[in-house]
Amino acid sequence: MTTLVACSHGTDSPAGRRTVEALVDLVRQRMPDSRVVQAFVDVQEPTVLDVIDQERVLDDVVVVPLLLSVGFHTAVDIADAVRPHDNVRQGEPLGTHPLIAQVLATRLRAAVEGMWLPGDHVVLAAAGSSNPAAVADVTAASEHLARLIPAPITIGYASAIDPKIGEAVAAARRDGATRVIAASHVLAPGYFAGLVEKSGADRVSAPLGADARIAEVIIDRFRSA
């Protein structure tokens, strides 16, 4: 039996912590014969390094990043923790999976109360990373989403690279958008979700949250690894 280590960023937000815990519980419900444990790369404990050191003695391990794109935490923190061990592997981040776009589309429909209007524009609001692979991941996510909604999409980032989310919102208005909706490309409430809320968009979708479809993505990443 291979252990699934669900490794998230970690947050000080109580709502964010509850959301991630609920998501991991959804995975456990769908994998009743497997061991599923949490780990974190920042803010919270136990660290992914400590969890791997404990779990690899008991069984093979797959670390699935509960992150939406490649970045420092996946390419360095998690990779460095995984690399020394022959029986530990790393899955892909979640964000490029088509089911993530489906969840985003659901959150957007809720944000617009089921009614898209002429002149709507969506800004896909991502955390941001200077890693080119992360930019490619977010671009892929936006392409998946574009097939599911009737509004044009551009991308804004909370940190690391431009355009920032607020800049992307302002640019959409300059280009003629009459309503700008920020699509929160974040997993749970917390620091980055707060930045999306402050972006100046007319509507902001909720974080992806503890959704059964995301649990299926985590399981798919686990099995693919």
pLDDT tens digits for 179-195? 999 999 999 999 999 99
Question: What are the pLDDT digits (tens) for 7-43?
Answer: 999 999 999 999 999 999 999 999 999 999 999 998 8
CB 156 within 8 A of CB 185: no
Q: How many other C-beta atoms lie within 10 A of the C-beta of residue 139? A: 15
The phi and psi torsions of 103 (rounded to 5 degrees) equal -65, -45
Question: What are the pLDDT digits (tens) for 110-131?
Answer: 999 999 999 999 999 999 888 8
Sign of CA dihedral 58, 210, 199, 11: negative
How far, CA to CA in Å, does 86 sit from each of 1, 57, 81, 82? 16, 11, 12, 9
Q: Which residue has the higher pLDDT, 71 or 82?
A: 82
pLDDT band at 101; cut points 50, 70, 90: very high
In this prediction, residue 1 carries a pLDDT of: 83
Amino acid at 44: Q
Tell me the three state secondary structure of residue 184.
strand
Mean pLDDT of 204-218: 98
- For residue 72, pLDDT beyond 90: no
- For residue 71, pLDDT beyond 80: no
Mean pLDDT of 79-106: 96
- For residue 201, pLDDT beyond 90: yes
In this prediction, residue 162 carries a pLDDT of: 94
In this prediction, residue 45 carries a pLDDT of: 92
- Across the strands, what pairs with 203? 181
- For residue 74, pLDDT beyond 90: no
- The residues, ordered by sequence, that sit 6+ positions from 113 with a Cβ below 8 Å of its Cβ are none
The predicted model scores a pTM of 0.94
- Across the strands, what pairs with 8? 40
Mean pLDDT of the chain: 95
In this prediction, residue 25 carries a pLDDT of: 98
| H or E stretch covering 122 | strand 120-126
